[in-house]
Amino acid sequence: MTGDRNHEANGAKARRSTIRDVAAQAGVSVATVSRVLAGSHPVSEQLRAKVLRVVREVDYVTNAHAKSLAGAGQLSIAMLIGDITGASFAHAAKGVEQEAASRGSLTLVGSTDLDPAREAAMVNLMREQGAGAVILIGGASDLAEHQQRMARYAKSLNAAGSHLVLCGRPPLPPEVPAITVDYDNEGGAFAMTSHLLSAGHRRILILPGVEGYTTASIRLAGYTRALEAYGMSVEPDLVVHTTYEYGEGARAVRQALERGVEFTAVFAGSDVVAAGALEALRSAGLRVPEDVSLAGYDDIPLARDLTPKLTTVHVPYEEIGRSAARLALEREPGVRGEHKHVVLGTHVVVRQSVAPPPR
Amino acid sequence: MTGDRNHEANGAKARRSTIRDVAAQAGVSVATVSRVLAGSHPVSEQLRAKVLRVVREVDYVTNAHAKSLAGAGQLSIAMLIGDITGASFAHAAKGVEQEAASRGSLTLVGSTDLDPAREAAMVNLMREQGAGAVILIGGASDLAEHQQRMARYAKSLNAAGSHLVLCGRPPLPPEVPAITVDYDNEGGAFAMTSHLLSAGHRRILILPGVEGYTTASIRLAGYTRALEAYGMSVEPDLVVHTTYEYGEGARAVRQALERGVEFTAVFAGSDVVAAGALEALRSAGLRVPEDVSLAGYDDIPLARDLTPKLTTVHVPYEEIGRSAARLALEREPGVRGEHKHVVLGTHVVVRQSVAPPPR
DNA sequence: TATGTTTTCGAAAACGGTTACACACAAGAA
DNA sequence: TTCTTGTGTGTAACCGTTTTCGAAAACATA
């Protein structure tokens, strides 16, 4: 007895009290309790007060499962993220969570770790939960395969009275019933490339992303368009594909340097890739921006923390998340969703990492 | 008709198919379907195959709400985060999500925005969802008030057959039935202060956190202990309280500089506070680490990206999250939880931001 | 007082699963 | 043959809500 530091009631089975318990203790029917709680039908002030008192006494909370089974459930939203640890994804996630919370509903999350199999399994789990919509954030892949997979999800989700919304993923053919909200990726790449060109740079090393992925090719398109506006064309040596990881940025510029390709600016595919590139530039004895200029993409907090502060293109991730959630929640459940595509603007935010080229 | 780009079946009400539909179409009873799906009882191979075929044909998924109502629900876990956007929280969140996913269950999330009212509302929402456990991550506050609030949550959660687990929050009195998993905060502060002292620093500006909060006072305790081991005592001018935001780090050192307090090293309360401090130091014309050394806390990816790379104390956030989830999931639901406290180790990782003091 | 209206409330049927129980039918033991 | 035993299968009760429907009560009207 002396060594027992545990709680007095420790080990006792705890049963959650139900609406029937409340009804019994208040001397009314379950229907009445339900009505005062939902405010769906008028109840005399007398009973109302008694019910509320009992509810507070036994610390009753309604069982959400039973409620949605009975058809009055909050339509909830589920989101699937490649990696919460990525700042841009986290901001988008925050946006959807905020919007959902402001409407009183919780959010289900899962992460795929960029694995299509896990993604499919998670979508299934979410379907079981009866999510009103599932939002996929980030984590693209090969275009054709991606479109097939998404079409499958959309069809299956629609059949269950729910819908699919995609954030920052490749666009879908108009016949697949899904909502996509994306940012102006081509425009961002175009704007930044133009910024670099107007600063005087002519040889810009671009790290557009993963080869064969849509994000990369779209950025390349923007880069190309900007170059052509200056009467130039893209030089193959100046584009090297990378993933979005730190180490890849470093590897890419190291490799370019070793090959002897000349450039006065590097346009990284993300801010963290830019951080990696910065590291590689530094250890090669190059100063930024005096010797070579550096630009990023995303505008996550890191951009401000780098030395020099990173010039980058701003992507409104949080707003993307909010839009996605809003769109998802506004769709009437049980109605098949039509195709919809909304794109949010980007712009370059200039800080200290780009300067005119040397000489 | 020409302008209609919508899906053919658009607008049709979609009804999710039930176990009864499957049973009818396969010519068996609902019990049989349930049994093949759950594998709970033997079913002849013939029926089994037929059922599975129909399941695939109609793309049936079981209704999770109905399942948990019937008592066979996956016990799920819910987590409440102050701000997903913070890297350390995000890593912890990733840990819990991973652990949960590896056991086949989704995670519910909500964010409190550090608002106690929203926190309480969210805990209630989670209780309604029947979460097997609620994990609170980050977001401390005044100690006494915090303890009261947590005791209330723990009691209410226990009464409903669930439990409370806290990550990186102030410790609780042993009589409150909750699990807390934390890192060795005092030890981390002690180790880093010792590291700084052994490098030769004697006047170390410390930014321990928010005044009156436990995290701050514990770190101060570690700092003090290290100082005393060198026969020194803490000088009030050298401790300035801040929140964990970037701007606060900058403000704090700027203020110290203006007041003319002398120091050769600053020990920031988090890596992002360190980033802010770095900025302020730089704009005051001080070089890091030549003129003043800088140390952080957390060891998030940012630490590696700063210039110079930040020496900091490593906190195993992801592991904390995993432990929390494991502990939560292993507790038998419906049994009142006892009090438990697990603490994970920290260590200093030395990089480039500390050097011997000048002269 | 008798009658029509309006309120307020309770009984019971869903919702979509799981599972205890009963039962049919086969094979092996007596 | 008859009695067990075991294996598969179906019937129906139950989980905790919401909601329809109808009854009772209260009030207004004639």
d(C-alpha A193, C-alpha A213), whole Å:
20
Those residues whose C-beta lies under 8 Å from the C-beta of residue B14, and which sit 6 or more positions away, are A158, A159, A160, A161, A334, A335, A336
| Residues β-bridged to residue B349 | B312
B237 DSSP assignment = G
For residue B331, CA distances in Å to A9, B19, B28, B77 come to: 16, 31, 38, 12
Strand partners, B180: B166, B341
* pLDDT digit string, tens, across residues B152-170: 999 999 988 889 999 988 8
Asked whether the predicted pLDDT for residue B12 surpasses 90, the reply is no
Residue range A242-264, pLDDT digits in tens = 998 899 999 999 999 999 999 99
Q: Is the dihedral of CA B295, A304, B276, B137 positive or negative?
A: negative
Task: Please report which confidence band the pLDDT of residue A55 belongs to, taking 50, 70 and 90 as the band edges.
Answer: very high
Substitution target in B4, B5, B6, B7 with the highest count of A β-carbons within 10 Å is B7
Specify which residues B296 forms β-bridges with.
B312
Note whether A69 contacts B63, CB cutoff 8 Å.
yes
Percent of chain A clearing pLDDT 90 (strictly above): 74
Q: Is the CB of A41 under 7 A from strand C?
A: yes
Peptide bond into B301 cis (omega under 30): no
CA distance B207 to B189: 11
The reply to whether omega before A308 is within 30° of 0 (cis) is yes
How far apart, in whole angstroms, are the C-alpha atoms of residue B338 and residue B149? 18
For B16-32, the pLDDT digits (tens) are 899 999 999 999 999 99
Average pLDDT over residues B176-197: 97
CB pair distance less than 8 Å for A98 and B85: no
End-to-end CA distance of chain B: 83
- In chain A, what residues touch B156 (CB-CB under 8 Å)? 59
Structure tokens at A256: 């370019």
Q: From edge to edge, which strands make up the β-sheet containing A265-267?
A: A204-206, A265-267, A293-298, A311-314, A347-349
Q: Which CATH superfamily is domain B1-73 in?
A: lambda repressor-like DNA-binding domains (1.10.260.40)
Q: Give the C-alpha separation, B5 to A177, whole Å.
A: 11
Rg (CA), chain A: 27
Domain A77-183+317-345 has CATH 3.40.50.150: no
- Enter the CATH code of domain B185-316: 3.40.50.2300
| C8 C1': nearest CA residue | A43
Whether residue A85 and residue B83 make contact (CB cut-off 8 A), yes or no, is no
Q: Are A249 and A272 in contact (CB under 8 A)?
A: yes
Q: Which of A158, A54, A75, A300 is nearest to B11 (CA)?
A: A158
**pLDDT at residue A6, as a whole number:** 38
Q: B2 at the A interface (CB within 8 A)?
A: no
Q: Are B111 and A94 in contact (CB under 8 A)?
A: yes
Residues 279-338 of A with CB under 8 A from B: 282, 301-302, 304-307, 334-338
Q: For chain D, which bases have at least one atom within 7 A of a protein Cβ?
A: 7-12, 14-20
Range(s) of chain A covered by CATH 3.40.50.2300: 77-183+317-345, 185-315
For B77-182+319-343, CATH gives 3.40.50.2300
> At B11, which amino acid appears?
G
Q: Please report, rounded to a whole number, the percentage of residues in chain B having pLDDT higher than 90.
A: 74
Tell me, which fold does domain A185-315 have in CATH? Answer: Rossmann fold (3.40.50)
- Which residues, 6 or more positions from B203, have their beta carbon under 8 angstroms from its beta carbon? B235, B238, B262, B263, B264, B265
Closest CA to A206 of A306, A217, A89: A217
d(CA B181, CA B202): 33
Portion of chain B with pLDDT greater than 70, in percent: 94
Taking CB atoms and an 8 Å cutoff, what residues of chain A touch B69? Answer: 63, 65-66, 69
pLDDT at B337: 67
Residue A240 has pLDDT above 80, yes or no: yes
Of A102-111, B96-105, B349-358, highest mean pLDDT: B349-358
- Min Cα distance B106 → chain A (Å) is 6
* Per-residue pLDDT band at B59 (split at 50, 70, 90): very high
Q: How confident is the model at residue B217 (pLDDT cuts 50, 70, 90)?
A: very high
With 90 as the cut, is the pLDDT of residue B40 above it? no
Q: What is the mean pLDDT of residues A21-39?
A: 94
Outline which parts of chain B fall under CATH 3.40.50.2300: 77-182+319-343, 185-316
Q: Is A352 on the interface with B (CB under 8 A)?
A: no
